[in-house]
Structure 1
Amino acid sequence: MFTYFLEKISVSEDLTSDEAEQALQLIVNGDVSNEEVAAFLLGMRMKGESVEELTAFVKVMRNASKSVDVDTAGAVDLCGTGGDKSGTFNISTAAMFVVAGAGVPVLKHGNRSVSSKSGSYDVLETLGAVPNLEKESVEKLFEQTGMAFMFAPNFHPAMKYVMPARRSLKLRTFFNMLGPLLNPAGVRHQVVGAFSKDAAAMMIQILANLETDTAYTLHAHDGLDEVSLSSPTEIFELKSNMTGESATFDPKMLGFKKVDFKELLGGNAEHNAKIITNIVSGNASYAQQRIVELNAAFGIYVTGRTESLEESAELASESISSGRAQEKLNQFIEVSRRIA
């Protein structure tokens, strides 16, 4: 049966929605060898995945995941696909505390580093938090703090059938695109950075197919999977299941000065943790603090909390200057340790 799917994609034919669901279901059931999984991932990448196939894959993965049962009203997830090979510090992880400090609940879904020196898991652990929490602990953490970090392997047990092939390929696969679309709490508002403009365009369509309320998917001209301060960013918007062409966002529109890309670079988890500590305490460089404020502004705005992006940017700035972002970071560290 699985050979049929491999034959079809080997001649660059798209799978139907049903076929895509069946193929991935066989993989997540553990019924397919590692070699066949690797052939499937590589074949899909060479053929080019369709929105229909990817939507079907997301449905299978969501059904196979453990869900986090919390009130998601007004909550946001900020994450990226990774794979942009930029070497920046953990911008969306830093933005999580700024958004929470502005009174917006955050349900962040993330992982260890795959292609960078420091993933969101790595930097949170280095900051002193416990990111490796199971379902009940995550629910408690969110109820007590309005923030949660869901470590992907704890909520997607079926990934164990895919990881050996992903590791052996050492290439970006469609799972880079699926990751940000598999939030275990089922958030209704998302800001998703993508490794390319084409990926951002596909991801906004998938989120629309899956009845997300509001979302931004984006890719910066300098290659970042964040809203950049060193170049304009292409941003796709989803509102009530309607998506359009991307809009080119220039940070100057919000009064942000352009910075040199080098000023956004990070390092290992220790280095990035220090940057995040400096940002929330107001002691970071202009470039570091302002790119986090900018990304936090989109995180606040996508939830409908404010009437304008300008107002969201003001709330993000205030979150840091008032000390609330730092309080949120300290609270997250303390409560996650206590619950663990």
Structure 2
Amino acid sequence: MGKRLREGTISIVVTTAGRDYYSTKAFAHALVDLLREETRGSDTKVNLTAFLRRVPGWHVDTLRKQITAERTLQPAAVEAIAEVLNVAPEYFVEYRANQIAEAVRHHPELVDLVYDLLVTRANSLEAMVVPMVTTAIDRLANGQDIDSTLASRVFELIMTGQVSDVQAGSFLTALRTKGETAEEIVGLATAMRHYATPVLLPTGVDAMDVVSTGGDRLSTFNISTTSAFVVAGAGVPVAKHGNRGQTSRAGAAELVQELGASIDLPPEAISRCICEVGFGFMYAPLHYKATRDVIPLRRSLGIRTIFNFLGPILNPARVRRQLTGVNEAKYVPVMAEALARLGSTHAMLVHGDNGLDEISISGETMVVEVRDSRPSAPFIITPEEFGLQRHPFGEVVGGNPTRNADITRHVLTGTPGAPLDIVLFNAGAAIYVAGKADSIEEGVELARESVISGRAWDKMAAFVDFTRSWESETET
């Protein structure tokens, strides 16, 4: 009995077949013949098994796996379909994702055939169709922007290991050198979201994130993560997304581990932690597993890459409120535009004095506010406006995870000084973004109360206890 692969103008029936190898050339030749036959009529039943028997090495199970895997056209297959439709092969290489429907509008019966028979996975890097990667690199190297579709497609190839490290590094470096646009960031974020392991929160849980791009190389203590505990202590659910330090000695992941927490909880446990405790931590590589293979490349490049921008945007819990620190002033409005286009409800993008990717306690901070998916014009805030004293920048410098964890504990227990004040400033802004306060000034006071009352410390302790308990339960 055959199994119908897909409904469409042409019915494709799968029965059984079995081969151990395949020939791209034979496949392409048989496909050309088949498609030419099918374009003569729209009511033909296509027996996929019979078709595959004409192509040495192809069998149904392999094809089915390839259809559900990353979609990349082999060169011979590109040439085959291009010949049938009388268009240039480059058309499909670069634009098939969005324009294939237009290409087959006169032959709607080809749609199923294209997706069910042509969209396959190459068996080696040498067989990949990656001219688009070269095209993208050339454009970026010449200072030209690329559209979100091309950016998304190239990034898919990088994420799935289908381009060499040299090509991937060249793309990331060229993009960094040229300067990322909101259009490119949105395209890359869209591609990344397809590979996410999400954290699903119940309806009505309006969590937020306090996060920064990293890459400022200023070696401050973990201001964002410490601020996030204070925000949680003020009654705002926090879904904290973080990673290990790429250009620093201690990222958010190292800090929470040093505080005693486990960072490898499954999504359902993180959701429970956010709902029950009011704070949860999502370790980026566990939610974007496709990025694991890129970590060595990022470290070898030793520069800020697009991943620094994507981390804050791609919260696995899909929060729509966030305070996001940006390490370069020129990218504050760019990131704001990207967040707006991705559906942010309320966000603040900030860049502090000295190049800090947080709100600064030692000078001015540039801000762009996003409300209802619309970014504001940039504006400046200072500590004095909100009743806070300025401190020398050196007083918020941290160190290794142990040193940073000590600073966090001192802040959460209310030890006076620059670390406490910078956390109150950032947490106050976050509480305002969360809708818990009507202004940053009111948010700062709620942040102070969160610390003084001990609720900020309690949130941190409860978070650590929850992760340990979950880990113990799973081990037993």
Q: Give the TM-score band, short-chain normalised.
A: over 0.9
Identical-pair percentage:
38
CA shift at 1:329, angstroms?
Answer: 1.2
Q: Does 45-54 or 212-221 show the bigger shift?
A: 45-54
Structure 1 segments, 4+ long, off by >4 Å, are: none
Note if 1:217 corresponds to 2:380: no
Of the three residues 302, 308, 312, the one matched with 2:443 is 312
Partner amino acid, structure 1, of 2:164: S
Please list every run of 5 or more consecutive structure 2 residues that lacks an aligned counterpart in the other structure.
Answer: 1-130, 472-476
Of the three residues 138, 143, 156, the one matched with 1:25 is 156
Equivalent residue for 2:195? 64
Of the three residues 186, 191, 212, the one matched with 1:55 is 186
Residue deviations 1:197-254 (CA, integer Å, cap 9, x gap) = 1122211000001011010001012221111110110011001122122110011001
CA shift at 1:308, angstroms?
Answer: 1.9
**8 Å Cα contact 2:347/2:433 also seen in 1:** yes
Please list every run of 5 or more consecutive structure 1 residues that lacks an aligned counterpart in the other structure.
Answer: none
CA shift at 1:270, angstroms?
Answer: 0.7
Equivalent residue for 2:273? 141
**8 Å Cα contact 1:141/1:339 also seen in 2:** no
Query: What TM-score, normalized to structure 2?
Result: 0.69
CA shift at 1:29, angstroms?
Answer: 2.4
Equivalent residue for 2:146? 15
- Paired residues for 1:155-194 under 5 Å: 155-194=287-326
Partner amino acid, structure 1, of 2:352: A
CA shift at 1:73, angstroms?
Answer: 3.5
| CA distance in structure 2 between the aligned counterparts of 1:153 and 1:111, rounded to whole angstroms | 7
Equivalent residue for 2:12? none
RMSD: 1.3
| CA distance in structure 1 between the aligned counterparts of 2:285 and 2:329, rounded to whole angstroms | 27
Q: Does 303-312 or 175-184 show the bigger shift?
A: 303-312
Report which structure shows greater RCO (CA 8 Å, sep ≥6): 1
**8 Å Cα contact 2:320/2:344 also seen in 1:** yes
Note if 1:296 corresponds to 2:427: yes
Q: Secondary structure at the match of 1:73?
A: coil
Q: Secondary structure at the match of 1:199?
A: helix
Partner amino acid, structure 2, of 1:125: Q
Note if 1:83 corresponds to 2:215: yes
**8 Å Cα contact 1:35/1:165 also seen in 2:** no
Equivalent residue for 2:79? none
CA shift at 1:279, angstroms?
Answer: 1.3
| CA distance in structure 2 between the aligned counterparts of 1:110 and 1:287, rounded to whole angstroms | 24
Q: Secondary structure at the match of 2:194?
A: helix
| CA distance in structure 2 between the aligned counterparts of 1:267 and 1:37, rounded to whole angstroms | 31
Of the three residues 78, 82, 92, the one matched with 2:224 is 92
**8 Å Cα contact 2:246/2:299 also seen in 1:** no
> Larger Rg: 1 or 2?
2
Aligned residues: 339
| CA distance in structure 1 between the aligned counterparts of 2:219 and 2:293, rounded to whole angstroms | 29
| CA distance in structure 1 between the aligned counterparts of 2:223 and 2:394, rounded to whole angstroms | 14
Q: Does 4-13 or 144-153 show the bigger shift?
A: 4-13
**8 Å Cα contact 2:450/2:456 also seen in 1:** yes
